[in-house]
Amino acid sequence: MKFKRKFGDQKKTNPQRGLFLIVLLVVILYLFFNAENILGKLL
């Protein structure tokens, strides 16, 4: 019974946190692929 309850609690995920992580990943990928252009504009 305890084992089942442990796994039952994990189903409650925070959708906002997942969305934040996805947006963060997109921003990091964008910066990674456009780093040369961005640095060229700044310098």
Q: Is there a domain that residue 30 lies in?
A: yes
Whether residue 5 lies inside any domain: the answer is no
Instruction: Give yes or no for a contact between 15 and 8, defined as CB atoms under 8 angstroms apart.
Output: no
- Distance from first CA to last CA of the chain, Å, rounded? 62
**pLDDT value of position 12:** 65
What's the pTM? Answer: 0.54
19 assigned to some structural domain: yes
pLDDT at site 14 = 74
Any domain includes 28:
yes
What pLDDT does residue 6 have? 62
Distance (Å) of CA 2 to CA 12, 18, 24, 31, 33: 17, 27, 36, 45, 47
Task: Match 């309850």 to its residue by tokens.
Answer: 5
Decide if 7 is inside a domain. no
**What is the count of structural domains for the chain?**
1
Q: What is the pLDDT of residues 1-43, one digit of tens each?
A: 555 566 665 666 677 888 999 999 999 999 999 988 988 988 8
**The domain containing residue 17 runs over which residues?**
13-42
